[in-house]
Amino acid sequence: MIPETESAAYGLALPQWYPYGLPEMLPDNAFNPALASSLVVFSGQCRVMGVSFTSTKGSSQFIQIFDASSVPADGAIPLISMAVSLTSNGGVSFTPGGRWFTRGCVVCNSSTQGSKTIGSADCLFDAQYIPQVI
């Protein structure tokens, strides 16, 4: 029994610590500060809002997006594969609500379209995501 000097709250959950910043700071951003061949956007469940890339390679290649927590081995099949011609940039936007990734999100370049064959460190990647915390 609760003493009359204390108040009771029924049906209210205890607040949980949220390690990814305030809601006003979301979506979060992942990027590589130097040319790279891949970017692990987030390890774990997340909602990706968009991915942009810049290719500095003098020939065409492919940008691939995977539902994975780390860079997959060569031969892995991507969720999305986009052709990029000579030094160019582009991106994909998953609007309005983003795209759900269950294991995490990885972006990389590849010399082949249908499966991953990692390329050289010649891309800049930038992605916006919202981590899932339960």
> Domains of the chain (ranges plus CATH)?
36-131 (2.60.290)
Res 113 pLDDT > 90: yes
Chain segment 41-71, per-residue pLDDT in tens? 999 999 999 999 999 999 999 999 999 999 9
Distance CA 42, CA 27 (A): 12
Distance CA 11, CA 112 (A): 54
Percent of the chain with pLDDT over 70: 81
Please provide the average confidence, as pLDDT, over all residues in the chain: 87
CB under 8 Å to 75, separation ≥6 — which residues? 115, 116, 117
pTM score > 0.95 for this model?
no
